[in-house]
Homo-oligomer: A and B are copies of this chain.
Amino acid sequence: MAEDQLSRAFTALADPTRRDIVARLSLADATPGQLAEPFAMSLQAVSKHLKVLEEAGLISRSRDAQRRPCHLETAVLDEMTAWVDRYRRNAEERFRRLDAVLAAMDDDMHDDAHDTQHNDEHQQDEDEGVASP
């Protein structure tokens, strides 16, 4: 299964039922019973979904008599946007540089034959070590 935090978080949000739960918890805390009500599935199934969300760190649960109200935690959501945004920015920065190179080549076409050395596809820093099997 998904071993690390980020894998658990993405796995959790990969399910539309769980995304709907997160969407509703963003508006108000709710008990498993309240969360299960609009779905055409058993309370036990929703309970499993909540467990997945909790183990991903996306929600926390307190206690109120028999009830176990669920609360959305935003820290892991932050980590997710940070990850996605980092690589989106990497890519867009790369495209921006490529556009600049193409523009320079276009200039040379109209200008003269300069010795342009365009040097895209260079390596940068890297984290998230090579995935282990």
Contact = CB atoms under 8 A, between A and B. Distances in A.
A16 B128 contact: yes
In the A-B complex, the 7 residue pairs with the closest CB atoms: A26-B90, A10-B14, A26-B87, A11-B14, A16-B131, A28-B121, A77-B88
Interface of A: 2-4, 6-7, 10-11, 13-17, 19-20, 22-29, 38-41, 72, 74, 77-78, 80-81, 83-88, 90-92, 94, 120-124, 126-128, 130-133
A27 B81 contact: no
How many monomers of this protein are in the complex? 2
B39 A14 contact: no
A1 to B, nearest CB: 10
Given A10-B10, A16-B7, A38-B130, A77 B72 contact: no
30 contacts: A2-B15, A7-B14, A7-B15, A7-B19, A10-B10, A10-B11, A10-B13, A11-B11, A16-B131, A19-B128, A19-B131, A20-B131, A22-B87, A23-B128, A24-B126, A25-B91, A26-B86, A26-B91, A27-B90, A27-B121, A27-B126, A28-B94, A29-B121, A39-B131, A40-B133, A72-B91, A74-B92, A77-B88, A78-B88, A81-B85
A30 B131 CA distance: 17
